[in-house]
Amino acid sequence: MNEREELKEILKKRSILKGDFTLVSGKKSSYYINGKMTTLSARGLYLSAKLLLDACEDLEYDAFAGPTIGADPIIGALLVLAAQRGLEKEGFLIRKEAKDHGTKSLVEGNLKKGMRVVLLEDVATTGGSLIKAARAIEGGGGAVAAVFTIVDRKEGAESNLAAEGYRFSSLFSVQELL
C-alpha cells in the first residue's frame, strides 16, 4: 500500500463520522469529517504532512499557515519535515479573532512583508475559514502562494477560493472517503 492509500484508510477509519451534524457553514450533513482525529495520531499526521509537503515541491514559498486549531498539528509537522529536508520555512497560526492583549495579533508567527505563504487546513467545506486566513496573511503583508486541504467536502471551497484568486488543491475529495 502506498502512502496516499494508507492515509486514505486512516482517514476513513478515524475521521469519518455518520449521524446528524451541523457544519461550521450552518449546513446540515449526514456525515462529519473530523480531520483532527487523523492529524492527532502519529502515522496520520506524518502521512498528511509528508504528502502536503510533497505537493508543495514545485511552489515558491516561505511559510505554512492555517486557521487554528485544524491546521496547528499539520503546520508543526510540516516544519519538522521541511527541516529534515534542509528547507528553512516559517509557520503561522491564524486566530479566529485578534487577541485583546499583548500584540493583539491575528497571525501568530514571524510574518514579514512579502513572504509567500502556503495556507493549509484539515477539511474544507465552503472555504470560508481559508479565505479569512488568506486575508489575515495579506493584511500582515504576506502573499498566498497556494491553498491546500487534506479533505475537500466539495461544497464550494474550490470555487469560492478561485473566485478570490487562490489556487486550491486537496489530497482527497469526500467522494474518495465515503
Residue pLDDT, tens place only, 69-89: 999 999 999 999 999 999 999
Return the CATH fold of 48-177.
Answer: Rossmann fold (3.40.50)
Q: What is the pLDDT of residue 27?
A: 80
Choice between 142 and 23, residue whose per-residue pLDDT is larger? 142
Kindly report the backbone phi and psi dihedral angles of residue 11, in degrees, each rounded to the nearest multiple of 5, phi listed first: -60, -45
The predicted structure's pLDDT at residue 24: 73
Per-residue cell: 79: 516544519
Residue 36, all three cell numbers: 483532527
Per-residue confidence (pLDDT) for residue 101, from 0 to 100: 63
Decide if pLDDT at 1 tops 90: no
| pLDDT tens profile 94-108 | 998 766 666 668 999
Task: Give the residue extent of every domain in the chain.
Answer: 48-177
pLDDT at residue 99 in the model: 63
Instruction: Give the model's confidence band at 23: pLDDT under 50 very low, under 70 low, under 90 confident, else very high.
Output: confident
| Closest alpha carbon to 51 in 101, 97, 5 | 5
- Strands 143-152, 116-124: parallel, antiparallel or unpaired by DSSP? parallel
CA dist list (Å): 52 to 25, 28, 71, 178? 25, 29, 12, 21
